Amino acid sequence: MKPAATISQSDIAPPAHESALAAISGRARDYASLTKPRIVFMVLITVVVGYVLGARGGPHPATLLSTLVGTGLVAASASCLNQWMERARDARMRRTANRALPRKRVSPREASILGAVLGCAGMALLLAGANVPAAAVAGTTLAMYVLVYTPLKPRTTLNTAIGAIPGALPPVIGWAASTGTIGMEAFALFLIVFLWQFPHFLAIAWLYREDYARGGMRMLPNVDPDGSITARQATLYALSLVPASLLPTMIGLAGHVYFTGALLLSLAYLAAAVRFWAGVSDAGARRLLRMSFLYLPLVLLLLVLNPPA
């Protein structure tokens, strides 16, 4: 029988090419995580909706593709630069301490270069493959997110109201890419996503209030310990989202099935906010956050599926 002592490391270690592949895929995962892929995906859904509604009757696949890839790259750049700027604060918060920068799996220099390259590539693609209005809105979105919202996070609780502007501009990018203009319809899409964000991030701000305080971020729950103002604000914004959700039908952008669906969904979102307000709790905030993840994709789907009669 072969004595145990003769079993060498090479008997159990993976072959060299396999560990090299694992190291490369680990690196790729670290870089990809800097782009917050799930948020970029959701942002791109709002872009598609803006584009398709603007292009009813004749979407141009090549322009749509350039718009999506271009905006995706710009949004990825925004997240990357945001994490580069917040690396020290992210290290102090549990939710973000495991990110690639605080864990030192990617260097600040690499992240800033990646952010700049993604941003330039995305802007160039939008200019070449979409149009100037779409590129201008995307550039404004990037600048507002990175140069205004991100530096304001540790300074004022108004940061989120300002961050909601770049958050709501992506459907306008889509609309501008397909129509070359920014009109009333683009404003209706902007308004829905803008108002939708308040209950979304106020629920998050409540759930992570201790974490935000550790990181020195000024969020409403940090100056509102019993959550009454936070929950009231979430409810008021959910309430204003009810008429805003109906606007697309009123301005001839969507039909009556959309109207009914949007009414029911916005009332359900409002009910979750009211329930959170009636008895502020983590469970209530979690329900409201889950409802936010349900409301937006469904309303956007109805918008695309139900054109005006």
Ligand X SMILES: CC(C)=CCC/C(C)=C/CC/C(C)=C/COP(=O)(O)OP(=O)(O)O
Site for ligand HEM in 110-169 (CB under 6 A): 160, 163-164, 167
Q: Which segment (39-47, 139-147, 181-189, 259-267) binds ligand HEM by CB under 6 A? A: 39-47
- The least distance separating ligand HEM from the CB of residue 21, rounded to whole angstroms, comes to 26
Q: Which of 27, 30, 31, 42 binds ligand HEM (CB under 6 A)?
A: 42
- What the block records as the tokens of 232 is 């009231």
Q: Identify residue 29 by its one-letter amino acid code.
A: R
Rounded CA separation 182/133 (Å): 8
- The least distance separating ligand X from the CB of residue 120, rounded to whole angstroms, comes to 13
Q: Which of 35, 46, 83, 150 binds ligand HEM (CB under 6 A)?
A: 46
Rounded CA separation 15/84 (Å): 35
Q: Give first-to-last CA distance, the chain, whole Å.
A: 82
CB 106 within 8 A of CB 34: yes
142 binds, among ligand X, ligand HEM, none (CB under 5 to 8 A by kind): ligand X
Nearer CB in complex with ligand HEM: 111/161: 161
- The least distance separating ligand HEM from the CB of residue 2, rounded to whole angstroms, comes to 49
Nearer CB in complex with ligand HEM: 95/287: 95
Rounded CA separation 174/181 (Å): 10
Give the list of residues 6+ apart from residue 40 with CB closer than 8 angstroms, or none: 72, 75, 76, 79
Nearer CB in complex with ligand HEM: 160/230: 160
Rounded CA separation 69/126 (Å): 8
CB 269 within 8 A of CB 298: no
- The least distance separating ligand HEM from the CB of residue 66, rounded to whole angstroms, comes to 20
Nearer CB in complex with ligand X: 71/249: 71
Q: Identify residue 253 by its one-letter amino acid code.
A: L
Q: Give residues in contact with ligand HEM (CB under 6 A).
A: 38-39, 42-43, 46, 95, 160, 163-164, 167, 197, 200-201, 204
